[in-house]
Structure 1
């Protein structure tokens, strides 16, 4: 984990669900049920601090330690 993102997920594990907001329907708390195309529809789940870390890396890939992530970010920006 080159950026140290420890609380960022595609699918939040059950042990971490308490860290994430609930949805509400008719005044009752509920979790969005995983379903077909869940990852594509809901994307990354993260907190503000880790999202800011990712954004900084995306804006300035040269500041990311050498490795696969840095090369990937630089390559994506060349498109």
Structure 2
């Protein structure tokens, strides 16, 4: 969403049961799919996605600014 105008644009679809989204500053967004138990990377320029890792009950995601993503597990709180 453009914060100034309120205009909205769908970047990607069909990603599953999305939990959280973290943006890396290099044009990639990382999101969790709870139902699919996975962490996905989405290219914000074209909407393509790829599997980064299988993560049971994936819910939250945070990036460390370097090369790591931290994913929360809804089932056991880890």
- Normalising by the smaller structure, the TM-score range is under 0.3
Q: Greater share of helix residues, 1 or 2?
A: 1
Q: TM-score, normalised by structure 2?
A: 0.22
Q: Which structure's CA Rg is the greater one?
A: 1
Q: TM-score, normalised by structure 1?
A: 0.21
